[in-house]
């Protein structure tokens, strides 16, 4: 972290301001140190990142996958604009957000963080898992990034402080997605905008989706072991998957039912090696999370209404149900 970003942090337990002690600086960044309150709460800074949660938590699988696939889903590396387009198509936000303070929840490897930073906004980003380390490696040099390891239920920031709140790919992976959504809305300042998404829950998508049949057996497996099994399975099935995806209309869906995360349609220009790497990552990603709790559009709409947001627009989107809204002006 950078010294000038200390002002954005608060003790997640008491809301008190934090002071920095025992710092080890590397150029203009704090590499190691401790953030303390006057009443004795303290939080370590490790590898440039303030840590407000225990290292071991239910999101260990995400730390594992994002360390291994630290750049797999980055637009530039994979030669497409999927992440960038997803942010701006769904949110409807402008590309120049200079002067604004933006909160990104559950940033994972940081594939969205890089585009949020490119808007010129100050980006305050957090993730519950060790994924903050690969994200920091990719984006940490940016002077407008404050990245911390924190829990959506105990965020180390002031409520009602942010101009924009962004959260894609996360809510379904928290133990109580509605409570997570509500927590995010509390971070908005009057008139501020929020954009979120959640996996879609329908009968077909939930009860007939093979991943929900297999997850009870895989989600408690040790990450290394599960990843090795997923990789071995993809390697074995890949020649068949390449044939199956050629079946008009339903080929790719069959592959997903066979638990092969197939992105050939979404990334028509990607090489076979890239598609296979995405398959390794996303097959593990669908079988490993401790929580995978989708929601219907009606439920998602209801959360927005209960939070008393305005200009609510809930609809189907790239990764399930998406929502945009803003908090009422005072």
Positions that interact with ligand SAM (CB under 6 A): 59, 62, 106-109, 111-112, 127-129, 131, 151-152, 168-170, 173-174, 285
Which residue sits closest to ligand SAM, CB atoms considered? 108
Residue 113 or residue 144: which is nearer to ligand SAM going by CB?
113
- Contact criterion met (CB below 8 Å) for 187 and 159: yes
- CA distances to 3, 71, 210, 250, 309 from 256, in Å: 46, 23, 8, 10, 35
Residue 129 or residue 195: which is nearer to ligand SAM going by CB?
129
User: Using CA atoms, how far apart are residues 62 and 252, in angstroms rounded to an integer?
Assistant: 25
User: Using CA atoms, how far apart are residues 134 and 107, in angstroms rounded to an integer?
Assistant: 11
Q: What is the side-by-side order of every strand in the sheet holding 42-46?
A: 19-26, 29-36, 42-46, 49-50
Residue 109 or residue 301: which is nearer to ligand SAM going by CB?
109
- Contact criterion met (CB below 8 Å) for 128 and 120: no
Tell me the closest approach of the beta carbon of residue 244 to ligand SAM, in angstroms: 25
Residue 262 or residue 292: which is nearer to ligand SAM going by CB?
292
User: Using CA atoms, how far apart are residues 258 and 210, in angstroms rounded to an integer?
Assistant: 7
**Non-local CB neighbours of 225 within 8 Å, separated by 6+ positions:** none
Tell me the closest approach of the beta carbon of residue 44 to ligand SAM, in angstroms: 18
| Closest alpha carbon to 197 in 286, 86, 275 | 86
Residue 131 or residue 314: which is nearer to ligand SAM going by CB?
131
Residue with tokens 């963080």: 113
Residue 31 or residue 71: which is nearer to ligand SAM going by CB?
71
Residue 129 or residue 245: which is nearer to ligand SAM going by CB?
129
Q: Is the dihedral angle over the CA atoms 261, 264, 269, 274 positive or is it negative?
A: positive
Tell me the closest approach of the beta carbon of residue 260 to ligand SAM, in angstroms: 18
Tell me the closest approach of the beta carbon of residue 30 to ligand SAM, in angstroms: 22
Quote the Cα angle for 111-310-102, to 5°: 30
Residue 108 or residue 294: which is nearer to ligand SAM going by CB?
108
SS3 state at 323: strand
Residue 223 or residue 251: which is nearer to ligand SAM going by CB?
223
Tell me the closest approach of the beta carbon of residue 78 to ligand SAM, in angstroms: 13
Tell me the closest approach of the beta carbon of residue 238 to ligand SAM, in angstroms: 23
Tell me the closest approach of the beta carbon of residue 151 to ligand SAM, in angstroms: 5
Tell me the closest approach of the beta carbon of residue 268 to ligand SAM, in angstroms: 21
Tell me the closest approach of the beta carbon of residue 112 to ligand SAM, in angstroms: 6
What is the DSSP annotation of 51-86? B-S-SSSTTHHHHHHHHHTSSTT-HHHHTS-HHHHH
User: Using CA atoms, how far apart are residues 64 and 95, in angstroms rounded to an integer?
Assistant: 32
| Closest alpha carbon to 64 in 276, 184, 231, 204 | 231
């Amino acid at each position: 972290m950078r010294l000038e970003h200390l002002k954005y942090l608060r003790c997640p337990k008491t809301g008190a301001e934090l002071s920095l002690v025992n710092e080890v600086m590397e150029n203009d960044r704090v590499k190691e140190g401790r953030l303390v309150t006057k009443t004795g709460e303290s939080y370590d800074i490790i590898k440039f990142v303030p840590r407000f949660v225990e290292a071991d938590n239910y999101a260990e699988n995400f730390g594992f996958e994002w360390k291994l696939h630290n750049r797999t889903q980055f637009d530039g590396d994979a030669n497409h604009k999927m992440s960038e387009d997803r942010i701006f198509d769904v949110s409807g936000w402008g590309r120049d957000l200079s002067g604004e303070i933006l909160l990104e929840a559950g940033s994972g490897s940081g594939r969205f963080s890089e585009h949020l930073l490119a808007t010129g906004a100050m980006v305050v980003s957090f993730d519950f898992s060790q994924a903050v380390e690969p994200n920091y490696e990719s984006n940490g040099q940016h002077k407008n990034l404050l990245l911390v390891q924190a829990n959506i239920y105990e965020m180390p920031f002031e409520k009602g402080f942010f101009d924009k709140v962004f959260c894609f790919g996360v809510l379904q992976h928290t133990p109580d997605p509605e409570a997570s959504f509500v927590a995010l809305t509390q971070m908005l300042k009057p008139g501020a905008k929020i954009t979120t998404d959640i996996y879609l829950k329908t009968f077909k998508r939930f009860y007939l989706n093979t991943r929900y049949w297999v997850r009870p057996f895989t989600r408690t497996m040790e990450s290394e072991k599960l990843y090795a099994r997923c990789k071995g399975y993809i390697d074995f099935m890949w020649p068949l998957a390449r044939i199956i995806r050629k079946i008009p209309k339903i080929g790719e869906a069959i592959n997903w039912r066979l638990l092969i995360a197939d992105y050939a349609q979404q990334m028509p220009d990607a090489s076979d090696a890239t598609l296979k790497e995405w398959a390794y990552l996303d097959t593990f990603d669908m079988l490993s999370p401790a929580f995978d709790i989708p929601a219907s559009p009606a439920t998602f709409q209801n959360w927005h209404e209960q939070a008393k947001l305005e200009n609510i627009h809930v609809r189907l989107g790239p990764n399930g149900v998406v929502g945009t809204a803003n908090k009422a002006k005072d």
